[in-house]
Amino acid sequence: MQPFHLAFPVRDIEETRRYYVDVLGCREGRSAERWIDFDFRGHQISAHLMPEACGAARAHEVDGDDVPVRHFGLVLEWNEWHGLAERLRARGTNFRIEPHVRFAGKVGEQATFFVLDPSGNAIEFKAFRDPSRLFARQS
């Protein structure tokens, strides 16, 4: 699979660098005064200094959670997801949506949590108990 590329606005480049490298464990790529690239588990994400474009995302109810509609994220392996959730919890991370399993017992059963970066960008990390169900449809 080829990696995807995503650009997003941030309020402060240094604060963003610290969060994505030190908290999320991303490797830093190229950068300039007003932008920085990160290796997001093999995908390229680019933070661009644009404070005026930052703000809280509107939420939509999904299985009882108020999910930020504008978000990006990763689908991890089940054990990897649990390890990341525990590592972030041990760091005292504030979760936008706490780690839990949604759609329990259904086709789309998944573990999920959301965090907000320092600029308010919502990031979801999820894992499917059965990875083959990633694109499965409800009957």
Q: Do 73 and 61 contact (CB within 8 A), yes or no?
A: no
Q: Are residues 24 and 83 in the same domain?
A: no
User: Could you tell me if 44 and 83 lie in one domain?
Assistant: no
CATH number at residue 133: 3.10.180.10
Q: Are residues 127 and 76 in the same domain?
A: yes
> Who contacts 83 (Cβ-Cβ below 8 Å, separation ≥6)?
none
Q: Do 78 and 137 belong to one domain? A: yes
Within this chain, do residues 73 and 39 fall inside the same structural domain, yes or no? no
Query: Which residues are CB-contacts of 135 (< 8 A; sequence separation ≥ 6)?
Result: none
Q: What is the pLDDT of residue 56?
A: 79
**Per-residue pLDDT, 135:** 85
Torsions phi, psi of 115, nearest 5?
Answer: -125, 160
pLDDT for 139:
58
Q: Are residues 75 and 22 in the same domain?
A: no
| 43 plus 63 within the same structural domain | no
Residues 63 and 20 in one domain: no
- 139 residues of the chain, pLDDT tens digit each: 899 999 999 999 999 999 999 999 999 999 999 999 999 999 999 999 999 999 877 899 988 889 999 999 999 999 999 999 999 999 999 999 999 999 988 888 999 999 999 999 999 999 998 888 888 887 5
pTM > 0.85: yes or no: yes
DSSP tag of 131: G
* 33 phi/psi in degrees, rounded to 5: -60, -35
DSSP code for 12? -
Are both 66 and 13 inside the same structural domain? no
The residue out of 32, 50, 68 marking a domain boundary is: 50
110 with 135, same domain: the answer is yes
| Residue 42: domain span | 1-50
Please indicate, yes or no, whether residues 93 and 139 belong to a single structural domain of this protein: yes
Residues 44 and 91 in one domain: no
Number of domains the chain contains: 2
